[in-house]
Structure 1
């Protein structure tokens, strides 16, 4: 009896220790920031850029870049993934500037030159501040939100609170709690995780066109996640499948660029269903037999 009690107490103590470590160390596992010095100079071949800093109400600084297009048609607010800084992510801006769109990229708190304590609430507030500044420059009908991986959750939240032209999600997750549960199913993540990022909840309140791009061979965030997300607002959502695409290499597929070109350059057309087979149903074998 004493042995069983000892084993039970040992397991309980280990469980508590793991929970405490998970709570305090999760930022280390969720985020892989690259720090940049204040005097770091950004440079990209054949790209005209403008650097800016935004001071937040709690004293943090959000550093960002604007990639300029000639005679821009609109602005893409690109919310990046959970690693590195805009120093490296900036190379993807060309996928939009070549189509005539300015691109805004920012580093989250603790990334690049950005400062401040990083919490889900703080980052959401920062992104809204930047979005508000974009609205001061252009009408929302010219703003496209693009969220990549970690950034897909923040992009979905922004779209749920505003009225952009469209929302594009690249390799999105259902929620970070669900992703974490895949690796540590035995932990009480609803109590421990600081960044639950419930993309699926925020998508319910999005009223603009939603475009989801995902690779079939994504091992970090499975393709089925996007299938599930696409069913939340099916009347507004279109799912684009990159056959063979992983989590970090979609830009190396020609099909991805064809999809992206279609999304940002094509105006949606209303389909006339009159005279179509939309209401025609196949008869069952039993009904045929009676007939």
Structure 2
């Protein structure tokens, strides 16, 4: 056999091995969980919390914390990123409790004290069960869904199936398949990826106001991703730009806190366009100069 055949066979073999490894190892590449012992005690200064454990229909336990505000105006269901546990993410609850909102955070399967086999379908189902329990005590018009990075996809899916007051996406992705494609452009990711997370598709079915917050210097999920997402439902969507913001440091920008305050404390007002220039168009015709 010619040498080129052996080279082709070798390349195909390596490609197949990489594909198999990617399929079975992607959970370890995508998720960076911190596991906590069952008797771990959560503690946050100047924050009142209540811990919950919810058993799912397949026997998994989903652990969560509710950060309590005095005389709450509503509840923020905060869906975190792909790393650590709510032990660390809990410090961000203060950005909402100080404005009078309770905050609910949960650990996905395999994170913190939560158990169970992690799949996209299972996590979506878990979050809907939790959302349903929240609705038993809080009317949907007082529920805000907040999705951070990985959690932005799950928050969008929840919003598409329910009727919360609003959806806030912090550094969202178009889809995880698109993110992975940036780093592995030659792999058949449509066949391999277990968590495609098509935020762009789910966003089409959201009926509430959508607020997208993104930093211009985000190296992991580029700012242009949010620009594309904002065009899916332009009448419902407001894009908030953090100049110089990265992927993990938006909370260190004063502009982020101003934006967040405006979003959750300001009641939406209808704009009266009567007498405005909304229908005025600039002329594109060339005017011939007269001699």
TM-score (norm 1): 0.98
In the TM superposition, residue 284 of structure 1 has moved relative to its aligned partner by 1.6
- Match status 1:125 vs 2:147: no
Query: Helix, strand or coil for the counterpart of 1:224?
Result: helix
- What is residue 196 of structure 1 aligned with on the other side? 196
Unaligned stretches of 5+ residues in structure 2: none
Aligned pairs for 1:61-72 within 5 A: 61-72=61-72
CA displacement, residues 141-165 of structure 1 (integer Å, 9 cap, x when unaligned): 0000000000000000000000000
Q: Which residue of 1 aligns with 2:257?
A: 257
Distance in 2, matches of 1:69 and 1:35, equals 27
| Structure 2 counterparts to residues 1-291 of structure 1, below 5 A | 2-286=2-286, 288-289=287-288
* CA distance, structure 2, for counterparts of residue 158 and residue 167 of structure 1: 9
- In structure 1, how many angstroms separate the alpha carbons of the residues matched to 2:96 and 2:248? 18
Return the alpha-carbon distance in structure 2 between the equivalents of residues 93 and 2 of structure 1: 65
Q: 1:289: Cα distance to partner?
A: 3.5
Q: Residues of 1 paired with 2:52 and 2:208: CA distance?
A: 28
Deviations 1:161-207 (A, max 9, x none): 00000000000000000000000000000000000000000000000
Aligned pair count reads 290
Take 2:289 and 2:280, find their aligned partners in 1: how far apart are those partners?
19
1:99 partner SS? coil
| Deviation of 1:251 (Å) | 0.3
Q: Distance in 2 between matches of 1:114 and 1:207?
A: 31
Separation of aligned partners in 2, 1:290 and 1:277: 28
Deviations 1:14-53 (A, max 9, x none): 0100000000000011000000000000000000000010
Unaligned runs of 5+ in 1: none
